[in-house]
Amino acid sequence: MRAAPAGVDSPSVNLPSQARLLLDLQRVNKIAQRLSGCLEVETIARIVTDGLVHQFGCAFARIWVVESDTTMLRLVASSGLYTHTNGSFARVPMGAYKVGKIAQNRVPFLSNRLAEEAWVKDRDWAIANNIQGFAGYPLMTGDRVIGVLATFSHGPMAAEFLEVLQVLCMTATIALDAALQIDARPAGRKTSLTARPTLSDQLAHLLTTTTMALVGTETPLLDSVSYLFLRLGELLNEFHCDYARLVYGATDVSLEAIVALPAQATFAQAGSVASQPQNAVGHWRSRCHQLRFMATCLGGSLDTEPGPQQQMVQLRLKAPYSSEEPGDNVSIQCREALVQTALTCLAYRAGLTVCDPSEPEAVVITDSETVARVADRVLWVRVTASSPPPAQVAATIDWAITAAQLRQVVRQVHTGQLVEPAVAPGSPRPSEREREIMALLAQGLRDRDIATQLYISESTVKFHINNSLAKLQAKNRYQAVYQAAVHGWI
């Protein structure tokens, strides 16, 4: 998804698509957090364009806003190769060039052959500056277009990059629209952040057929959190949700709703991806899957529970008011897409900061010996009991580890502490002597040799082996060695 400069590999280019989406959403969240509290149009726009350049490696990025007469767009921010806002594209007529057409037609656009596009004003400039990629996205609130975001890259952009821009643009639109409304007021009536529309106001505007209840006192939210709830609001409205409840708790905000999924034979929603009856349930599940990923990135969750005959769904979206203190940096580099995605989700739930592979201070979580050999601090993932860790790893984890345990182990590796193997609740806990004996048993030593090496009697060795068999629920020594490896004893 990431737009990378020509000749430079994007750090996330080799990640599986779902893990790459999570990483890009994390970058979007970093940009969104900087918008919190901003009420100046130029400042908000510049934070977004700077973020596209620094977080996504774009050559340059720009934002235009629609002027009050709706006939022109005004350039308010430019980052990267060009930082001025007073050039030939400082004001663009609605419908002119590609930026004006995006604002007029409200259709996102992506091309990786910019110099060959007929609408390009200066093809020689694109060739001379090696600009290949262009992506533009309308900034919309409701049925109004308030601006356009455009970004350029030296290298090609993946088509999925438009999905990342969609997330970023929705967040930027919330902040820009509030700032533009304040700018439009008389000077004596301009107010502070409290004048921004609340989440309940925005949801009430979206959920036109829904009876909505508000519980608790509304608390200011990060724009990224507001965006997540508004995306769910759009989905609920699309499926004609009858009832929803927005709850402000002590530490988080949640939206609870019950949706009656229509029968596939009768469902039709004009202008929707789910307008074809056979796609209705699939569309619902796909959108919930995307929202669940986003909620995970923000430290929250989306839980769904189907009702009778799968025709009714109860769901609850929860997110914290603000992000906790960020955890240690980790770089997840696994061989298989499933392992990569699962560990990325677990890392987000653990409150860790998922970084690019190029981050020098990150603890590397991997199951690849090639990666482990060149990394400084390695947390080895034991995928199977027969995959011994390389000698240079700092610690080993397996699938029994919880999010809290992962955070603790990463902290220990990051600070150079001695790491005790993580033990999941209910897992067998070995004594130090049992751990020593099982490790020697795994090397093929006999009871007599183990006794000699540890300076104990053979009967004591057998005693500890029998205890280990009981704890591991193993029928023989071979099973015990296997289970000991699975549970991280050895």
Question: Structure tokens of 203?
Answer: 């949801």
Checking if the pLDDT of 96 tops 50, the result is: yes
Checking if the pLDDT of 1 tops 50, the result is: no
Query: Residue 430: its pLDDT value, please?
Result: 79
- Percentage of residues in the chain having pLDDT higher than 70: 83
Q: What is the pLDDT of residues 378-407, one digit of tens each?
A: 888 887 655 667 777 888 888 778 888 888
* Residue whose pair of structure tokens reads 């608790």 in the numeric block: 216
Q: Are 292 and 348 in contact (CB under 8 A)?
A: no
Query: Residue 269: its pLDDT value, please?
Result: 39
Q: What is the pLDDT of residues 14-26, one digit of tens each?
A: 444 566 667 777 7
Provide the H-helix boundaries in 148-275. Answer: 161-183, 199-206, 223-238
The mean pLDDT value for 136-140 works out to 92
Checking if the pLDDT of 216 tops 60, the result is: yes
**Between these two residues, 331 and 4, which has the higher pLDDT value?**
331
Checking if the pLDDT of 186 tops 50, the result is: yes
> Which pLDDT band holds residue 433 (cuts at 50, 70, 90)?
confident
> Which pLDDT band holds residue 209 (cuts at 50, 70, 90)?
confident
Query: Residue 75: its pLDDT value, please?
Result: 95
Average pLDDT, the chain: 79
Query: Residue 139: its pLDDT value, please?
Result: 92
> Which pLDDT band holds residue 194 (cuts at 50, 70, 90)?
very low
The mean pLDDT value for 182-210 works out to 68
First to last CA, the chain: 40
- Percentage of residues in the chain having pLDDT higher than 90: 14
CA-CA-CA-CA torsion for 331, 341, 56, 52, nearest 10 degrees?
Answer: -120
**Between these two residues, 280 and 52, which has the higher pLDDT value?**
52
Checking if the pLDDT of 271 tops 60, the result is: no
pTM of this prediction?
Answer: 0.52
301-306/312-320 β-pairing: antiparallel
Query: Residue 94: its pLDDT value, please?
Result: 92
The mean pLDDT value for 405-425 works out to 73
**Between these two residues, 421 and 71, which has the higher pLDDT value?**
71
Q: What is the pLDDT of residues 439-481, one digit of tens each?
A: 888 888 889 888 888 888 888 888 888 888 888 877 788 778 8
Contacts 24+ apart (CB under 8 A), 160-165: 160/1, 160/17, 160/21, 161/1, 161/2, 161/3, 161/110, 161/135, 162/108, 162/110, 162/135, 162/137, 163/1, 163/21, 164/1, 164/21, 164/24, 164/25, 164/28, 164/56, 165/108, 165/135, 165/137
Query: Residue 324: its pLDDT value, please?
Result: 54
* Residue whose pair of structure tokens reads 């080799």 in the numeric block: 14
Question: Structure tokens of 169?
Answer: 């643009």
Query: Residue 341: its pLDDT value, please?
Result: 74
**Between these two residues, 124 and 29, which has the higher pLDDT value?**
124
**Between these two residues, 419 and 267, which has the higher pLDDT value?**
419
Checking if the pLDDT of 345 tops 70, the result is: yes
Checking if the pLDDT of 185 tops 70, the result is: no
Query: Residue 4: its pLDDT value, please?
Result: 43
Query: Residue 66: its pLDDT value, please?
Result: 93
Alpha-carbon distance of 316 to 318, in angstroms, equals: 6
Query: Residue 445: its pLDDT value, please?
Result: 85
Checking if the pLDDT of 416 tops 50, the result is: yes
Checking if the pLDDT of 34 tops 70, the result is: yes
DSSP annotation string for 374-404: H-SSEEEE--STT-PPPTT-SEEE-TT--HH
Query: Residue 478: its pLDDT value, please?
Result: 75
Query: Residue 82: its pLDDT value, please?
Result: 87
**Between these two residues, 3 and 197, which has the higher pLDDT value?**
197
Checking if the pLDDT of 356 tops 80, the result is: no
> Which pLDDT band holds residue 222 (cuts at 50, 70, 90)?
confident
Query: Residue 299: its pLDDT value, please?
Result: 75
Q: What is the pLDDT of residues 145-183, one digit of tens each?
A: 999 999 999 989 888 788 888 888 888 888 888 888 777
Query: Residue 146: its pLDDT value, please?
Result: 92
> Which pLDDT band holds residue 193 (cuts at 50, 70, 90)?
very low
